[in-house]
Amino acid sequence: MNKLSIINEIDEMIETYCEGCFIRKQLRKEQGKTAAHRFCISNCSVGSQLQFLGNELNKVGAGHK
């Protein structure tokens, strides 16, 4: 994967799954942005995939394959 394809995949995932996420919206409303963010990175399968893609992006950006 190249840098641009990873960025495009991240953007597509966020648009598809995160922007309309009821759980994220409800947590932000009830508990604040930090709680919603914590849920997304700790308990959401989409968040896990985004973390993986972010790590891949770091590898590509650093020149590793």
pLDDT, position 64: 52
pLDDT, position 1: 76
Q: 40: which 2 tokens?
A: 């997304």
Burial tier of 34 (Cβ tally within 10 Å: 0-12, 13-18, 19+): exposed
Angle of CA points 7, 22, 58, to nearest 5° = 20
Provide block-wise average pLDDT over 10 residues at a time, the chain (65 residues): 94 95 96 96 96 94 63
The H-assigned helical ranges of the chain are: 3-13, 22-31, 33-43, 45-61
With contact defined as beta carbons under 8 Å apart, do 54 and 13 qualify? no
pTM attached to this predicted model: 0.81
